[in-house]
Amino acid sequence: MHQFPLSWLLTAFTLYTALLFFISWLTSRKADTGSYFLGNKKSPWYIVAYGMVGTSISGVTFISVPGNVLNQNFYYMPLVLGFVVGYLVIAKILIPLYYRMNLTSIYGYLESRFGFFTYKTGASVFMVSRILGAAVRIFVVVLVLHTFLPQDSVPFWVVAFVFMFLIFLYTFKGGVKTIIWTDVLQTTFMLLAVGLTIFFVAREMQWSIGEMASAVAESEYSKWLDFEWSNSTNAIKQFIAGIFITIVMTGLDQEMMQKNLSCKNIGEAQKNIYTTSITIVIVNFFFLFMGAMLAIFVNSKLGGMEGIGLANELGEFTKAQTDKLFPTIASQYLGLGVGLFFIIGLISASYPSAGGALTSLTTSFCIDFVGFGKRTDLTDQRKKRIRQSAHAGFAFLFFLIILVLYAVNNQTVIDLVYMLAAYTYGPLLGFFFFGIFTKYNVKDRFMPYVAIASPILCYVLDYLGKELFGFGFGFTILIANGLFTFIGMYLFRDGKRS
């Protein structure tokens, strides 16, 4: 077991952040409102596609997916394969719709299609969803960074504040234009961290490439398909859930679509989506492959004194502590180099998610609630001040939520993120699908009530399913949520479009 030097941690963190700020400075020198919101619609599609890997993975996936292999084998892969179908829906249906309407905020579609209340409800649902989801993602990274510091040397809130302040600074001026280019750097370092971890675990276990592949394939962890219908990891439920999770968390999410809308035209945006769909499958497979290797490594060490120390570090890793698997092994059992790249990879997987969330929330607030695109009484200088104040306000809100999560944390983070998405993104799924696939108008003023009632009904449905039938909906509760919203809109329909 190696003790990770604090000085090396701080040096790596400082140098990487300095590099990030340098790129931020280069991309924001001539930044204006157009570059902040949509990158002046000049973003190369291949740059966006590569950078979106880092945004889609996030620090949560970086830590939790490998650890979950201990409990759930490769049962995450059917969910990932479902992502591909979801990306195809986005490329064929949603991207053309957004470009045809020349949208900056995608929720402008809801105003055009249904009216004021549906529009504001959709934008509000996004803001709640993104704030909660991004806060969880940031929290897990800050928590891990805090564990690397000597015990009680630095309070958790200080680490959280510094992390959020740095993210606030590097996205403050350039917005989407900066994020697209810094995502490239961050995706690269994240993938390097995974590759190096796989290499060093194989070397520690004295495996060749063939032996490494065989060891994973022959292990109990390599199972892909869970056909137990009552399990939340059931392969069919996972695949279907993956489709809809991608549609809502990418196609109906302002943060993810803002980057796609910064491409030059529909064709380039679609190329970006197609490329991302393939890359995400490959990258997630390697995360799971690495998780299986780490699990095998743990089992090989548990027999001796080193294993006792490792077991103590991981705690009861068959339950919620699986998130400790990758951080503990990478930082303390594979040498200084892997530990440093783990830290940089973790930061690389986290900065895009947090920075993108800040930018998209600021965009939605300015466009959907302040009305930047409609109001003529706001000067450019006034708009800039409002945008900067909103940016700072959301950063501070993230900081407060992170402190709350630290006080109540008791659940595996990857599950928490997706369940938050299932309950909060469901109404968006219903709103958009009803608008795209039906010709009906709705009684607009009732839509906020529909958006509130649907998640409540889903919670009751999931609870009764588990209590009465032993059936867990898992992430497919998202589909039920969207369906309840769709039904609610149908009940409050108000004739057909002219």
**Quick one: CA torsion of 385, 390, 395, 397, rounded to 10 degrees?**
140
Two structure tokens written together for 261:
């809308």
Residues 6+ apart with CB under 8 A from 151: none
| Rounded Cα distance, 310 and 110, in Å | 52
The per-residue pLDDT for 4 is: 55
Q: Which of 286, 336, 373, 278 is nearest to 84 (CA)?
A: 278
Answer yes or no: is 476 within a domain: no
Domain annotation covers residue 492: no
Q: What pTM was computed for the model?
A: 0.76
Provide the terminal-to-terminal Cα distance of the chain, rounded to the nearest Å.
Answer: 71
Residue with tokens 């290499």: 199
Predicted local distance difference test score (pLDDT) of residue 156 = 87
Rounded to the nearest 5°, which phi and psi values hold at 226? -110, 115
State the alpha helices, DSSP H only, in 247-335. Answer: 254-260, 266-301, 305-314, 325-332
Structure tokens given for 158: 């200080």
* Angle, in degrees to the nearest 10, between helices 45-72 and 325-332: 100
**485 found inside a domain:** no
Contact 137, 59 (CB under 8 A): yes
Question: If you search the block for the tokens 């809809």, which residue do you land on?
Answer: 244
Task: Specify whether the CB–CB gap between 167 and 397 falls below 8 A.
Answer: no
Residue 326 tokens read as 């990758």
Count of the separate structural domains present in the chain: 1
Match 């140098």 to its residue by tokens: 15
Q: Give rounded-to-5 percent helix, strand, coil for the chain.
A: 80, 0, 20
DSSP 372: T
DSSP bridge pairs for 263: 43
Q: What is the CA radius of gyration of the chain?
A: 22
Find the Cα–Cα–Cα–Cα dihedral 234, 237, 239, 243, rounded to 10°: -160
Kindly list the distances between the CA atom of residue 165 and the CA atoms of 218, 318, 351, 397, 435, in Å, as whole numbers in the listed order.
46, 35, 11, 12, 39
What are the distances in angstroms from CA 305 to CA 4, 204, 310?
A: 19, 17, 9
Please report whether residue 448 resides in a domain: no
C-alpha to C-alpha distances, 363 to 136, 254, 268, 388, 479, nearest whole angstrom: 21, 8, 22, 11, 27
User: In the prediction, which pLDDT does 84 show?
Assistant: 92
Question: Which residues, in sequence order, are CB contacts of 21 under 8 Å at separation 6+?
Answer: 169, 170
Q: Which domain covers residue 210, as residue numbers? A: 6-407
* Separation CA 326–CA 64 (nearest Å): 8
Query: Is 484 part of any domain?
Result: no
Would you state the pLDDT for residue 316? 47
Task: Give the DSSP per-residue string, 463-486.
Answer: HHHHHHH----GGGHHHHHHHHHH
How far is residue 198's CA from residue 345's CA, in Å, rounded to a whole number?
14
Per-residue pLDDT of the chain (498 residues; tens, 9 = 90+): 445 566 776 777 778 778 777 777 776 666 555 445 554 556 677 777 777 776 666 656 666 777 777 777 788 888 889 999 999 999 999 999 888 888 877 888 898 899 989 999 988 888 888 887 778 778 877 877 777 776 667 888 888 898 888 888 776 665 566 667 777 777 787 788 778 888 888 887 888 888 888 888 888 777 778 777 767 677 888 898 889 888 887 888 877 787 777 777 888 888 888 988 888 888 888 888 888 887 787 777 655 444 444 544 555 444 445 666 666 676 666 666 667 777 777 776 667 667 777 877 888 888 888 887 777 777 878 888 888 888 888 889 989 888 887 877 655 554 565 566 667 788 988 999 999 989 899 999 999 999 999 989 988 888 888 778 777 676 678 788 899 999 999 999 887 664
421/408 Cα distance (integer angstroms): 19
Give Cα 76 distance to the centre of its chain: 15
In a domain, 71, yes or no: yes
Paired tokens of 54: 């880092």
Residue pointed to by tokens 């708009």: 383
Rounded to whole angstroms, the Cα distance separating 260 from 266 reads 9
CA angle, residues 102, 104, 106, in degrees to nearest 5: 90
CATH number of the domain at 30, please: 1.20.1730.10
Residues 475 and 237: beta-carbon distance below 8 Å:
yes
Report DSSP state, residue 175. T
Q: Is 24 within a domain?
A: yes
| pLDDT computed for residue 332 by the predictor | 66
Closest CA relative to residue 23, chosen from 268, 188, 253: 188
- Alpha-carbon 180 to chain mean position: 16
Q: How far apart are the C-alpha atoms of 319 and 160, rounded to whole Å?
A: 26
